[in-house]
A = this chain, B = another copy of it.
Amino acid sequence: MTETKVPERTARLEEQLCFAVYQAGHAFTRMYRLALAELGLTYPQYLAMLVLWDGDGVTVKALGERLSLDSGTLTPLLKRLEAAGLIRRERSRQDERQVHLYLTDAGEALREKGACVPAAMGEAIGEIVNSDGRLLGDLKALREALLKASDHS
C-alpha cells in the first residue's frame, strides 16, 4: 500500500457537471439571440412572453414562480416589455398589492412570430440530442436534487 497522497487535484473544469450546464446555458442564449432579436426580445423577456401567451392576467408573483425569478429581476424586465408596448401592468382593485399582466394587441400579435422560434431551434438541434426526452428528464431531476440540497430554509 503505497500511500501516495496526491495533493487532491480539483476536478478538471470540463468534467464538472455544473460547468457543462453553465456552458450549455450560454450556448442556448447565444443560439436564441439572433432569432429573438428579430422579435425585439431578450431570452428572459421571451420566457415571460411564453407564460403570458399561455394565459395572461397572471400576477407578477405567479409569473415569478413559473420562471423562478423575483421582483428584483421581473419589475424592470416587465417595465421594458410595457415600454415596448407588448404588455400592460394593472394593479388589482381587489388586492392593491398585486399587479396583473395583460397582453396588448401587439403582444398578442407577436405570438405567431414567436411560435416559429422553438421550431427553428428544435429542428436544428432538438432531435439530435434530446432523442426521447431523456435529457429533459435528467435536467429536471438535476434541478430538483439541487433545489432540495440547497434548501437553506
Contacts and interface: CB of A to CB of B under 8 A. Distances in A.
Interface string A35-55: 000000001000100110110
A21 B114 CA distance: 20
Interface stretch (A24-32, A77-85, A86-94): A24-32
A142 interface: yes
Q: How many copies of this chain are found per oligomer?
A: 2
B111 A147 contact: no
Interface residues of A, number: 61
A145 to B, nearest CB: 4
A22 B25 contact: yes
B129 A24 contact: no
Interface string A1-35: 00000001111110111111111111110111110
Contact of A142 (B66, B112, B125): B125
Nearest to A133: B15
